[in-house]
Amino acid sequence: MHPLVSFLSAAAAFFLAASGGLALAQEQTFRLTIKNHQFEPAEFEIPANTKVTLQVKNEDATPEEFESSTLHREKVVPAGKEVNIFVGPLSPGRYEFMGDFNRATARGAIIVK
Amino acid sequence: MLATAIIVFREVLEAALVVGIVLAASKGVIDRLLWVGGGVFFGIAGACAVAVFAEVIAEAAAGIGQELLNASILFLAVAMLGWHNVWMGRHGRQLAQQAADLGKAVTRGTRPLYALAIVVGMAVLREGSELVLFLYSIAAGGSSGVADMAGGGILGLAAGVAVGGALYFGLLRIPTKHLFTVTSWLILLLAAGMASQAAAFLVQADILPALSPALWDTSAVLTEDSVPGKIMHALIGYVARPSGMQFVFWAGTLAVIGLLMCLTNRGTTVPRGGARRALGAVAVALMVLGMGFLTTVLVS
């Protein structure tokens, strides 16, 4: 076997082994709209230690990227489309997020209580 | 325009640093510019394709198409970085010897250039697709429009390339004898950082558990949003609030590639004797630590 092939299979085996199971559950949903490069609502509360889904709809004619370094989330929301982003379980605190393509106006925060 | 330039700079930065390291690691190989240039070219072409098909990708795989694509891009780059280091471990000594004999290391086809070209391509593709979408949104929606996009784009690109260039020329100041040892270490850290980014995408897709939302928080010292933070993020995978899974992948990649470097090393890429044994011990310790951590969290 070519050494590259053995190397790649070893690498693949490692990452497969590191992978856990798939977790699917019904979660509470929060709606979020991007309009005129702003988030609506810009701030909202979610319960602590709970997994929730954010339904982010982009009503602008240009794409946006939902980004948050504290939440470890980074997802493009194409123009006129809706994406789901799950967050949590989180400990109480304030977690900021923003629209990466319109950093000046598209800002928001999730308050975890 | 300045605001646009700053965002372009931030997006270009990561790919530019990768290109800087790759160019230094392939110093002396005759046709390396062709390979690296090819990687950049296909990366840009791919980035445009990803941007055009952003909607299709967003809706693919039940809504986790973006995450799967990004994770695959990053894992491919990690595999190629690892392969480069294993290869250098086996041939690095010859290279350094040759370099010393000739006074310079001009060689043809003696390094896995295709691996480095793929790494460059993946880095450009990953950062570039966001950049294309951003520039498109400026041109289409912004009040200042196309001039803003072009001016800010060129300014930001130039600044990003300048930082990558500074890293490259800085690395070239290292004597050839030691250069490839340094670039192999940089590539090892680069791979670990990319694996941790890929893990973050798999957590975002809900394929992997986060294990812990934040193992520690150093955002008071250095945020990832700052330019120094972004450079550290690109170079060593710095994350102010890493999730447990990100740390497992970071440490795991470091350990696996580090161990492979030790096992295959027949040259000077990895220091020999005591230092080499120490690296091996650290790699094994990281693996045990990672596995132990994973088991603890999964069991609890």
Q: What is the pLDDT of residues B209-265, one digit of tens each?
A: 999 989 999 999 999 889 999 999 999 999 999 999 999 999 999 999 999 988 887
Q: What is the CA radius of gyration of chain B?
A: 20
All residues of chain A having their beta carbon less than 8 Å from the beta carbon of residue B225 are 69
Measured between CA atoms, the residue of chain A closest to residue B260 is A7
The DSSP element (H or E) to which A28 belongs, if any, is strand A28-35
Give the percent of chain B with pLDDT over 70: 84
- The pLDDT of residue A21 is above 50: no
B260 close to B84: Cβ distance less than 8 angstroms: no
Give the percent of chain A with pLDDT over 70: 87
- Mutation choice for B interface testing from A5, A36, A57, A69 by most B CBs within 10 A: A69
- The pLDDT of residue A105 is above 90: yes
How many residues does this entry show for chain A? 113
Global confidence as pTM: 0.85
SS3 content of chain A, % helix, strand, coil (to 5): 15, 45, 40
Type of residue at B83: W
The pLDDT score that the predictor gives to residue B9 is 95
CA–chain centroid gap for B197, Å, is 9
Q: In what side-by-side order are the strands of the sheet with A52-58?
A: A38-40, A28-35, A52-58, A82-87
- The pLDDT of residue A55 is above 90: yes
All residues of chain A having their beta carbon less than 8 Å from the beta carbon of residue B130 are 65, 76, 100
- The pLDDT of residue B71 is above 70: yes
- The pLDDT of residue B269 is above 60: no
Choose among B282, B10, B252, B260: nearest CA to B130. Answer: B10
Print burial letters for A54-67: b (CB count within 10 Å at least 16), e (below 16). Answer: bebebebebbbbbb
Residue B94: other Cβ atoms inside 10 A:
14
Contact A20 B208 (CB under 8 A): yes
All residues of chain A having their beta carbon less than 8 Å from the beta carbon of residue B224 are 69
CA–CA dist A32, A43 (Å, integer): 10
Measured between CA atoms, the residue of chain B closest to residue A90 is B213
